Structures are given as C-alpha cells and as structure tokens.
Structure 1
Amino acid sequence: MKKLGLTALLILLTTTAVMIYTHSDSRADSAKPGSIDDPLVTKSYVDKLLAGGSTGGGQGTTQGIETTVVSVNPGEVLLAKAGAQFVLRAGKGVAYSSDANGISDVTDGKDIKSGQPVANNHLLIFPRDGRGVMPDPQAKAALTVLVIGGYEITAAPSSSGS
C-alpha cells in the first residue's frame, strides 16, 4: 500500500512538473519586458507623450491643430488653409475654388468642382489655400461645418464658380 501511495505521488509530481514546464515554454513566444517588442519607458517619456509633446523619431503630434464648429452664413465662403479638413454637418453647401481645381471628398473618393454640391458628413481635405465651401445660393440658409485646421471666412463672390 505504501508503494502505491509513493507511485501516485511520483506520478502527480511528474505531471505537475510537465505542466509547469509546458506553460513556461508557451510564454517564451510572448514579448519579454524590456525587449524590442515590449520596451520599457520612463515616467517622464509617458508624461511628455500624454501632455502632447513631441517624442521625436518621426512621430507627429496634433499640438497646435484646432477643431472648431463654424457657422457660415449666406453670402460668405469658408476658405480652408492648406492641410485643413472640413465636414459639412448641417445645411446645403457647395464647393468653392478660386482656380480650376476642386476639393477632395475622401469619403466618396472624388474631386468636387467649384459650384457642385457638397454632401453632408463627408470628409473634405484641402491640400492648398483658396478652396472651401459656401451655402448653396438657392437654399439661403447657413451651414454648420466641423473644421480641423486653419480657415477664414470671407465674402462670397457674385457666383458660386470661379
């Protein structure tokens, strides 16, 4: 009986050792703290990152970029600064461009020419100054536009085209 108890104990210990070894071996594939896959960082690095400071290494920041909700009245044009983004939230708007080029509607993946309608809730990107949106002259109602980046509001030209 004593031999049976020792044999059972030996089997239990062997099984436990194999399970522990297998479990620790499966963790060998995961990133080790401090390795290139899981680097350690300092508290000051994290604080700087959370505060919006630049961390170098080619990573950009959103520091200095403002998001604003702008109301554009009939007779006005909302002109984007280079790199700005607009989302027409309310109202009926048309594209405005001071040259032959239009504005990029990245939601639909198309170019909107000056005077053409701008769909609500579509992301518009402006690579250069001189382009924007204005209320549809036929609608005679204000627009509400979410603006990311720089902009200015000016008087609309006598026609919606250039």
Structure 2
Amino acid sequence: MNGKIKTAVVVATLGAAILLGTVLSNRVEGEGDTITPGSVNDPVVTKSYIDKQVADIVKSELSKQGVDQQKLQATLDGFRKELDKGQSGQSVEVVSVPLTKRLVAKDGAEFVVRAGKAVAYSSDANGISDLTDGADITNGKSVPNNHLILFPRGGRGVQAAEGQKSGLTVLVRGAYELQQQ
C-alpha cells in the first residue's frame, strides 16, 4: 500500500504543477491577448507591398526636393543599358583569327586557344597570364591549347605561330579586337 500512496502523491503533485503553470502563464500573457499571425495585430507583409511603399516614399521625397522624376528615370534607364552591355561582354564568343592578324585583348579579357598553334603577343616586356599552369608567357612564346589565359591589361594577345597553315580558333570572354600583324 505504501507504493500506491507514493505514486498517487507524485501524480497529484505533477497535475497540480501543470495546472498552476497553465493558469500563471495565461495571467502573465493576459488572457485573450494572444496574437495570431496574419491578424490585425500581427499582419503578414509581402515583398510587393514593401516595394510599393518604398517607391511611394521615394517619389514623395524626390518631389519634395524638386527632382525631375522623368529625367531621373531616363538616367536610370541609361545605367541599365550600360550594365546590360557589360554583361553581354561576359558571354563566351568563338573567334577565328586569320594568319595575317592577331587577337588583342582589352582589360580583363580571357582567352582559350582551342585550335591551331598560338604564340603570345605583347608590345612590352610583360607577358600574359596562363592561369591553368600559373605561369607568365612572354612575347613570342607558345600558348598552350585549352589553357585559360588572362589579360589584366589590354594591348596584349595571341597570334598564329610561324609556319602554320591555318589560323586560330579562340574562345574569348570580354572585349577584344583583331589587328593586322
């Protein structure tokens, strides 16, 4: 009988503790003041709503400061066009380089020689960066096929090696120009 009494006392104590915790919890939170997500007290806000509100505030502030909104929009459209031009330069282009020409990179361009034997071209003592081998290729030295070549500064490039019967095929990312040798 002693075991049954102890079990009953433990169960009664736990029940009282749970009941007391629930009652005190409701009093602290203020019964009936529970906030439901999506209600008036806690609204769900969408990105489009925030975008509209910010746009309205910006328009209001611009008009207060006397900024011509049409002129500002035209300027922003011009910036977008410039950005689009820059991004289109990031696509890879296949360029055929005839024997009589050299492919000269602009700042930041990247080349990969795919077909033909190429040599580096540089108008100064500096070479071009072979990122695949981690080496510098100086003027007149062979450029390996399928290696990523970086041109941090423009004015350097590649051309077909002497004695070659056909031109080069080069993958180009960035701005470049074909120059007469």
Q: Normalized against structure 1, the TM-score is what?
A: 0.58
Residue 100 to residue 121, structure 1, CA distance change in 2 (3 Å): same
Unaligned runs of 5+ in 2: 1-45, 49-82
What is the aligned partner in structure 1 of residue 105 from structure 2?
Answer: 80
Deviation at 1:141, TM superposition (A): 1.5
* 1:93 maps onto 2:124 in alignment: no
Instruction: Give yes or no for contact 1:88–1:146 (8 Å, CA) kept in 2.
Output: yes
Partner residue, 2:62 = none
Distance in 2 between residues matched to 1:119 and 1:125, nearest whole Å: 13
Q: Percent identity?
A: 55
Matching residue of 2:152: 127
Q: Which has the higher contact order (CA 8 A, sep 6+)?
A: 1
RMSD of Structure 2 on Structure 1 (CA)? 2.0
| Alignment gaps of 5+ in structure 1 | 1-40, 44-59, 157-162
TM-score (norm 2): 0.52
Paired residue total: 100
Maintained 8 Å contact 1:75/1:155: yes
Aligned-pair CA distance for 1:137: 1.7
Task: Tell me if the contact between 1:92 and 1:141 (Cα under 8 Å) persists in the aligned partners.
Answer: no
Other-structure match for 1:54: none
**What are the residue-to-residue correspondences of 1:111-122 with 2, within 5 Å?**
111-122=136-147
User: Stretches of 4+ moved more than 4 A in 1?
Assistant: none
Residue 42 of structure 2 is matched in structure 1 by none
**Partner of 1:71 in structure 2?**
96
Equivalent position of 2:164 in the other structure: 139
* 1:79 partner letter: V
* Alignment partner, residue 132 of structure 2: 107
Larger radius of gyration: 2
1:150-161 to structure 2, matched below 5 A, reads 150-156=175-181
